[in-house]
């Protein structure tokens, strides 16, 4: 299996050190299942102040990131990885979900472009394959959204998670939330683990888990169930 490659273009490369230096992502890099390269956008500026942003044409508040250093950075990465799929992190992008995480986990090479300030010059969209949003809220930059994507994509890459059967049982895999889970102690401050889970009756436990998953989804995320119904049509 080829090592997956993630290239990140950012003005804050240091932000990634700790999240990528722990737990699953660290192990996956140590085992050469994936390789993460950070690219400081300022290295792709041509002026002596290494400016990456400017005032918006037409007026308005804040600064917009310039198109040219971003495109130079993407093209520099693509020199050694011509087939890489490039993603701009943007609140105006497609909403990220588990289905997209699976799709991206099959790509050999991904480039992530992190915006800052008031966002990036719209023309950047002509030079990336996708624009992706992590949800309907505004973050200060694309760095944390990139971490969100990389963590969710990486755990779907073969051999990154120890027991891969755990991946198919999770929330969103069947357009529903996961069933409630419990561990020791059997009772905590009067709250008991449901008897059925202690029964040892495998089939009854599975039926209970499905029923509870559907109940929880109907209560908290009914939109997922209507998605399921639409897909079945």
Ligand X SMILES: C[S@@+](CC[C@H](N)C(=O)[O-])C[C@H]1O[C@@H](n2cnc3c(N)ncnc32)[C@H](O)[C@@H]1O
Binding residues for ligand X (CB under 6 A): 89-92, 114-116, 118-120, 133-135, 137-142, 145
Q: Using CA atoms, how far apart are residues 73 and 89, in angstroms rounded to an integer?
A: 15
CB atoms within 10 A of CB 4: 23
Shortest spacing between CB 52 and ligand X, in angstroms: 12
CA 124 to chain centroid: 20
Contact between 24 and 78 (Cβ < 8 Å): no
Minimum CB distance to ligand X smaller for 13 or for 119: 119
Shortest spacing between CB 127 and ligand X, in angstroms: 15
The closest residue (CB) to ligand X is: 115
Minimum CB distance to ligand X smaller for 139 or for 225: 139
Minimum CB distance to ligand X smaller for 9 or for 33: 9
Minimum CB distance to ligand X smaller for 57 or for 137: 137
Minimum CB distance to ligand X smaller for 6 or for 179: 6
Shortest spacing between CB 100 and ligand X, in angstroms: 13
Shortest spacing between CB 56 and ligand X, in angstroms: 10
Shortest spacing between CB 170 and ligand X, in angstroms: 22
H-state helical runs in the chain: 17-20, 23-30, 67-80, 98-105, 143-154, 165-168, 202-220, 222-232
Please, what is the Cα angle at 185 between 180 and 191, to 5 degrees?
A: 60
């Amino acid at each position: 299996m080829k090592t997956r490659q993630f290239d990140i273009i950012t003005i804050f490369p240091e932000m990634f050190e700790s999240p990528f230096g722990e737990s699953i992502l660290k192990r996956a890099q140590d085992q050469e299942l994936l390789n993460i390269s950070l690219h400081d956008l300022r290295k792709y500026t041509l002026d002596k102040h290494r400016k990456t942003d400017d005032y918006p044409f037409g007026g308005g508040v804040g600064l917009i990131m310039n198109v040219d250093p971003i495109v130079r950075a993407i093209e520099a990465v693509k020199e050694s990885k011509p087939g890489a799929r490039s993603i701009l992190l943007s609140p105006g992008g497609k909403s990220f979900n588990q289905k997209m995480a699976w799709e991206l986990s099959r790509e050999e090479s991904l480039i992530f472009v992190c915006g800052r300030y008031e966002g990036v010059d719209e023309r950047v969209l002509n030079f990336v394959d996708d624009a992706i949003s992590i949800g309907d809220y505004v973050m200060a930059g694309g760095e944390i959204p990139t971490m969100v994507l990389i963590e969710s994509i990486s755990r779907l890459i073969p051999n990154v998670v120890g027991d891969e059967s755990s991946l198919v049982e999770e929330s969103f895999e069947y357009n529903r939330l996961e069933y409630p889970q419990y561990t020791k102690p059997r009772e905590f401050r009067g709250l008991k683990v449901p008897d059925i889970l202690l029964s040892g009756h495998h089939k009854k436990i599975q039926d209970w888990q499905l029923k509870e998953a559907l109940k929880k989804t109907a209560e908290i995320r009914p939109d997922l169930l209507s998605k399921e119904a639409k897909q079945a049509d």
